[in-house]
């Protein structure tokens, strides 16, 4: 079973990162773990797709649409908000909806973005519950 998780994870990771504009890591409370590969795809100037893939006793995937991605007064500081589905393929299987609100700093002259966010989740399957402890730190390389 772990070989299936590993192969599936590698295929998903390779397909996500091949067209990404930003790739990095998310540390903190991630889908059944404490670290994930963090990948961003721009959809337009003020929205993007934010994906996290974690490999902790199974495969966790968050797929969020950040429908708001706006600069604050300074051009290097942005805030964002989004929502989307999440799943954990492991024991127990989980499926639900996750929201996100965060703050991100993009360094000038260096292609690195550093962000913090909060992700409340509403799990629908295997059992129904609401969790508000999804805080994380994102570090990404900008292509």
pLDDT confidence of 110, banded at 50, 70, 90? very high
Q: Which of 127, 39, 40 is nearest to 88 (CA)?
A: 127
pLDDT confidence of 80, banded at 50, 70, 90? very high
At 8-37, the pLDDT tens digits run 554 454 444 444 589 999 998 887 788 999
Note down the domain range covering 74. Answer: 2-142
pTM of the predicted model, to two decimals?
Answer: 0.80
Q: Which of 85, 80, 81 is nearest to 104 (CA)?
A: 80
The domain total for the chain is: 1
Long-range CB contacts (< 8 A, 24+ apart) of 66-72? 66/100, 70/46
For residue 22, count other CB atoms closer than 10 A to its CB.
21
Tell me the CATH number at 86. Answer: 2.40.160
User: Is 89's pLDDT higher than 60?
Assistant: yes
């Amino acid at each position: 079973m772990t070989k299936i998780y590993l192969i599936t994870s590698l295929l998903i990771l390779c397909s996500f990162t091949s067209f990404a504009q930003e790739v990095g890591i998310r540390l903190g409370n991630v889908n059944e773990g404490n670290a994930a590969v963090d990948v961003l795809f721009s959809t337009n100037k003020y929205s993007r797709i934010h994906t996290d893939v974690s490999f902790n006793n199974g495969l966790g995937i968050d797929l969020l649409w950040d429908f708001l991605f706006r600069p604050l007064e300074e051009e290097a500081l942005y805030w964002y908000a989004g929502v989307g589905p999440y799943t954990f393929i492991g024991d127990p299987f989980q499926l639900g909806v996750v929201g996100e609100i965060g703050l991100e700093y993009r360094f000038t002259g260096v292609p690195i973005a550093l962000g913090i966010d909060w992700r409340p989740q509403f799990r629908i399957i295997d059992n129904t519950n609401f969790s508000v402890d999804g805080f994380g730190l994102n570090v990404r390389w900008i292509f």
